[in-house]
Structure 1
Amino acid sequence: MELRHLRYALAVADERHFTRAAARLGIAQPPLSQQIKALEDELGVRLFHRLTRGIELTEAGVAFMPFARAALEAADHAADAARRAARGEIGGISIGFTSSASFNPRVPHIIGRFREAYPTLEIMLEEKATTALLQSLQAGTLDVAFLRPTLGETDGLVSRRLPDEDLWIALPARHRLAGATSLALVELAGDPFILYPRANGRLLYDSIIAACRNAGFSPRIAQEAPQMASTVNLVAAGVGVALVPESLCRLHAQGVTYARIAGDGPKAQLVVSHRRTTLVPPAVRNFMSCVAADGG
């Protein structure tokens, strides 16, 4: 039984006339009659009583038509679902991000823009350290991720780089240099530092160590903080000073002041990555288009 047979039968049932049904379908009347007869022969029942001026449904026809109509509607829904899935409009996408990336205004803006463009797509968000994000991307448990990788960590991934952020100095409010708008790193040579663990993300850790050494000293690490936001909280508690991406300065924690690094200071790199595959899922392709449209 073919879908066109169902359409032909429904047209005849609706019009109660072969000629009018043929005109509606855009075919000649004799072929329509032949197709209806072929359907009836396949079913082994007559669907229509042929009258002098039109047709009437048989009991079999009355029983058959609602199911035929439902089958056509289901087929149309199936075709529509397939097309929408191919366009990345339905289904789901999992998006990962580092804790510091969530403070970068570009990240929520891109995700919000994508959500507006594809409102029927389920979006699952997950916060992880860069190391864990890389593992999840490679394992296929995440579709895309905002992360801060070092050179070589994104091998096997497709990445798009977002604008770099300057690293700023976060100081306890009672620090001797609190209130300064710009400081040379060497002025912190004697201070204890709070760092994001290297095991969670090598880029920020290595960038901070390298910047301090370029300034002529090795930082004394007093504490490691598993989340960037907790780094700021530890600064507020007076545990030490920290270098944080500029976007974290939006976190107006009580007891913390921020200062620029004088001169050519270190940067915090942020990229959006997904697995390199022969066929990129439509939702991922659409998401990366939103990243590109945002200037990333």
Structure 2
Amino acid sequence: MELRHLRYALAIAEELHFTRAAAKLGIGQPPLSQQIKALEKELGVQLFHRMTRGVELTEAGEAFMPLAQASVAAAEQAAAAAQRAAKGEIGEFAIGFTSSASYNPIVPRIIGRFRELYPELSIRLIEQDTTRLLRAMADGALDIAFLRPALGETDGLIVKRLPDEELLVALPPKHRLAGPETKRVNLVDLAGDPFILYPRSNGRLLYDSMIAACRNAGFSPRISQEAPQMASTVNLVAAGVGVALVPASMNQLHAHGVVYKRIKGDGPKAQLVVAHRRAGPLSPTVRNFMGCVSVGE
């Protein structure tokens, strides 16, 4: 049984007239009659009583039409779903991001625009450190990720670099350099302070950037504590455990009076990228997302 036969039968059931149904369908009346006869032969029942001035449904036709209508509607829905999936408008999409990336205003702006443009897409947001995000990308568990990879960690990925963020110094509220008279901080002035660092095992690039910044200033930082997330780093600074270097967007966290200071000179930067897998053809959903990245920067 062909779908077009169902459409033909439904048109006749609606018009109760072969000629009008044929005109509605855009075919000739004789071919339409032949197709209905073929359908009735296949079913082994008569769907219509042929009358002088039209037709009427038989009992078999009355039973047949609602299910035929449901079948046509289901087929149309299936076709529409396939077409929308091919355009990246429906389905599931997994976005990974580091905890610090979520504070960068570019990231929520891009994700928000993507949600707005594709509201029927099921989006999963997964927060992890860069190391775990890279592993999830390699395993195919993520479609897109905002992360801070080091050189050599992006093999197998297509990466778009987002604007760099400057690193700020986060100081406890009672620190000697936390007062309003200090506009910018020389990193070397922190050589004797204990540092709270993001663990290298969670993200090599950010850790190495912080260490390099201190060494370029003429000292090696004295690491007193590691914190698995940037938010916990800021909270430890607030508790007086030490000082820290954090991406500028982290200054949204005002934990117990933590003071953020810019660094004198050409200060260190925190890199952020958005990445997707290189293997296989680019999915329409990823293509749509990357279009939002270009707009959202």
- Shorter-normalised TM range: over 0.9
| TM-score relative to the length of structure 2 | 0.98
The aligned counterpart of 2:254 is 252
Quick one: distance in 2 between partners of 1:4 and 1:73?
Answer: 12
TM superposition shift of 1:281: 2.1
1:159-238 equivalence runs, <5 A = 159-179=159-179, 180-238=182-240
TM superposition shift of 1:256: 1.0
Quick one: distance in 2 between partners of 1:235 and 1:13?
Answer: 77
Q: Which amino acid aligns with 1:122?
A: S
5+ unaligned residues in a row in structure 2: which ranges?
none
TM superposition shift of 1:277: 2.6
Name the SS for the 1:254 alignment partner: helix
The aligned counterpart of 2:270 is 268
Q: Which amino acid aligns with 1:7?
A: R
5+ unaligned residues in a row in structure 1: which ranges?
none
1:27-176 equivalence runs, <5 A = 27-176=27-176
Quick one: distance in 1 between partners of 2:124 and 2:249?
Answer: 23
Q: Which amino acid aligns with 1:32?
A: L
Contact 1:192 1:222 in 2 (8 A): yes
TM superposition shift of 1:278: 2.2
TM superposition shift of 1:8: 0.7
Is the aligned partner of 1:294 residue 2:296? yes
Name the SS for the 1:38 alignment partner: helix
TM superposition shift of 1:255: 2.9
CA offset digits 1:80-136 (Å, max 9, x no partner): 111111111111111111010011011111111111111111111111000000000
Q: Which amino acid aligns with 1:77?
A: Q
TM superposition shift of 1:146: 0.5
Quick one: distance in 2 between partners of 1:247 and 1:87?
Answer: 34
TM superposition shift of 1:59: 1.1
| TM-score relative to the length of structure 1 | 0.98
Contact 1:237 1:255 in 2 (8 A): no
Aligned residues: 295
CA offset digits 1:201-234 (Å, max 9, x no partner): 0011101111111111110000000110000111
The aligned counterpart of 1:10 is 10
Aligned residues: percent identity? 73
Contact 1:92 1:283 in 2 (8 A): no
Q: Which amino acid aligns with 1:119?
A: P
1:277 to 266, 276, 279: 279
Quick one: distance in 1 between partners of 2:114 and 2:290?
Answer: 9
Quick one: distance in 1 between partners of 2:280 and 2:145?
Answer: 19
Quick one: distance in 2 between partners of 1:236 and 1:58?
Answer: 82
Quick one: distance in 2 between partners of 1:255 and 1:172?
Answer: 7
Q: Which amino acid aligns with 2:24?
A: R
Name the SS for the 1:76 alignment partner: helix
Q: Which amino acid aligns with 1:241?
A: V
CA offset digits 1:63-93 (Å, max 9, x no partner): 1111111100001111111111111111111
Name the SS for the 1:292 alignment partner: helix
TM superposition shift of 1:269: 0.2
